[in-house]
Structure 1
Amino acid sequence: MYPRGLSFDRDFILRDLKGRFITARTHPKLVLVEASLTPGGLLLSAPGMPNLEVSYAAFSNQYLDVKVWGSEISAQHCQASADQWFSTYLETDCQLVYFGEQSSREVSGHEGQPVSFADGYPLLLISQGSLNDLNSKCPAPISFAHMRPNIVVSSIAPFAEDSWSQIRIGEVEFDVVEACSRCVFTTVDPKTGIRNEFKEPLKTLKQYRRDEKGEVFFGQNLIPRNQGLSGWVIRWKYSAANHRYPCYRQTSDYSAQSSRSNPTTSRNCFSRLRGDTVFAAPCWLFSQPLFCNTLLINNCCWLAFSPASLPSSPQRYSHGRRVN
C-alpha cells in the first residue's frame, strides 16, 4: 500500500488527441481488455486483437496532459505501438499514458493526499452483504466487477460500511471519507461490454440509495493514512456522522453480542472485528481487475484474505445499522 493507493492500481489511462480521458463510460469495449503483469510491464489482450506487450523500458520521455474530471495531469506517454493498438480496437484515435515520476495529482479537498488516475479517491470498499442486498432487489445479476471495488469485506450486515469512519487492515489504516456516487459505468456488463437496456443496477439503486440531490451511492471511498502491508484482521471505528443520507431507511439494528465475543481495543481506538473478513482487493486497469501470480499477492495487488479460523456470523461483531 502506497500513499496514492495499491501498487499498479490505475497507473495507466487513455487520452484522446484533445487530452480528455477515455473510459468505458463512453467506450464500453474497454471492459473486455485483459491485462496481466510481466517482469517488464504488461501483456494486454482484447477480442479480435493480437496481444500487446507494454514495456516500461520502451516508454517515451514525453509527458502529455490528460484531463480526468476536474484534474489536469501531466502523464508519461507510453509507446506508439500501444497507441495504435488501442486506436484500432476502439476505432478512435487515442494514446496510452502512464502516471510517471513527474506526474502528480491530489484528491480534491484533501491537500497533500496523492491519487493517480482514479475518478476521485485511491480506494473503494464494498461489502459482500451490500452486494447481496442489491442482488435481492435487482432483476439483473450484479457482480463486484460491475462496481469495481479495491476492497471487499464479507460477514457484515448490508451497508454497515456506511457507518464507518476509519478501518485498519494489518498495519495499514484508512479514513472512510465518503460514499461513492455511481454512474452509467455500472450498467456496462463486464463480461460482454454491453450496457444493460434497463439501466440496471442504477434503476434499482435509485429506489433506495439515492440522496436528496438525486445522486446514487454504493460503496465507500477510502484514503490510506500510512504505508505498509496488509494483514488478516480488519478493524473499524464507527461514526454516526457518516449517516448523512436521510433518504436511507434504517430498519434492523445489528449490535455486538459481547457474551460470545472478546473484542479488544487497540491504542488508536479501533475495535477488532473477528467476524469481518477482507477477501479481495484487486487493482483496476482499463476497467478489468489486474491479477498477479501468487508471489505478488502479499505486496501489491491483494490486500487481505479469509483465514478459516475467523468466525463468520455478521451479528456477533457488527455495530452499524442495516439500510434498506
Structure 2
Amino acid sequence: MAPGVPLEASLTEAAFLLGALRAKLRPDGRSLLEPLPLSISLGATPGSATVRLGDALVLAHTHAELVAPRPERPYEGFVDVRAEVQPIAGPQFERGRAGEEEVRFERGIDRAIRRSEAIDREALCVVAGQKVWSVTLNVHLLSSGGPLASLDCAVLASLLSLRHFRRPDATVEGGPAPRPRRGPAAAAAPPIAHADRARVVLHDPDERAAVPLALHHTPLSVSLAVFELDAEGSAGGSGGSDSEAILLDATPLEAAQASASVNVVCTPQGEVCAVDKAGGSPLSADTLERAVDIARRRVRELAKIVEEELERDAKLRAVEVPQ
C-alpha cells in the first residue's frame, strides 16, 4: 500500500458492520455508546501527559517562556498549539505532505483549545507592555485510532497537559507607574523608556511553588459517528432510533463507513464551545441535539477521570513550600 493512501474497507466488512448495528451490536462487542478503554499517564515533568484511547496514543507537552507582547495587545500573553503527526502513527500519513485526516486533526485541537479561549491570556501578563508568558502546547500523535478517536484522545491529552503544567513564579522589581488599560488615556500614554522598564525575577520551584495556568474553562472533545440504517432492522437503544445509529469512540472501520460524523467540544458544565460536522449526509435537528446530549454526558465522565488523575498526581508530588 502506498503511503498517504487511506485504508478502504472491503464490501464484506462494510456489510458485516451494518448488520451488527441493526442488531444493536458493534464488531468489537461494544454497545453503541460504550467507550473505548482509556489510560492516562502524567509525566515526571509538569506539563507532560500521555493518553491512550483504544489504539490512539497521544503525547502532549506544555512549556512557557517570557517574551515581549504585541504592541496592540500589551496585556495579553501568547498561546500556541502545535500538532505533529508522524508516519509511524499510521500508513495513511506521509512525511512532508498533510492529508485530510491530518489537517482535520490539527484544526480540531486548535479549535478546542486555542480558539475556545480555554487559557486566560490576560493572566499571562507579567509586566504590561514589557513581559508576558508565551505558552506552547505540543501535541504528538504516536498511533492513530481513526480520525474520530485520535482527535478526542489528543484534546484530552492537551487539557491534561495544560492542567498539569506549572510555570515559575515571578517577581517584578521597579518599573513605571501603572498605565491605563483602555480608552483615550491608554492611546495617549507615552512609550515606556528603557530606563523605566521593570526587572522580572524568576524563582526556582524549590524556592517558590510553581504557578498553574489560569483557565477560563476545561473543554473536552467527543466525536460521534452517525449511521443511516434501512428498514431491515433497528439500531434502538439510547444511541439510535429506528432509522439511524449514533456511535461513541468509533473505530477506523466505523469512522470510514459512517454516513456522517460530528465533533462536539463542551465543558463539564454543559457549555458547548464548538460543533463541527465535516462532510457526510445532512443531519436533522433532532439527531444533532441527541449527539450534543450524548457528548455532554461523556464529557462529564471524562472530567471526573481528569480530576481524579490530577488529584492522585498532586498527592504523589506533595511539595512543601519553604517559609
Q: TM-score range by the shorter chain?
A: under 0.3
Q: Radius of gyration: which is bigger?
A: 2
Q: Report the TM-score, using the length of structure 2 for normalisation.
A: 0.25
TM-score by length of 1: 0.25
Q: Which has the higher helix share?
A: 2
Q: Which gives a bigger RCO, structure 1 or 2 (Cα 8 Å, sep 6+)? A: 1
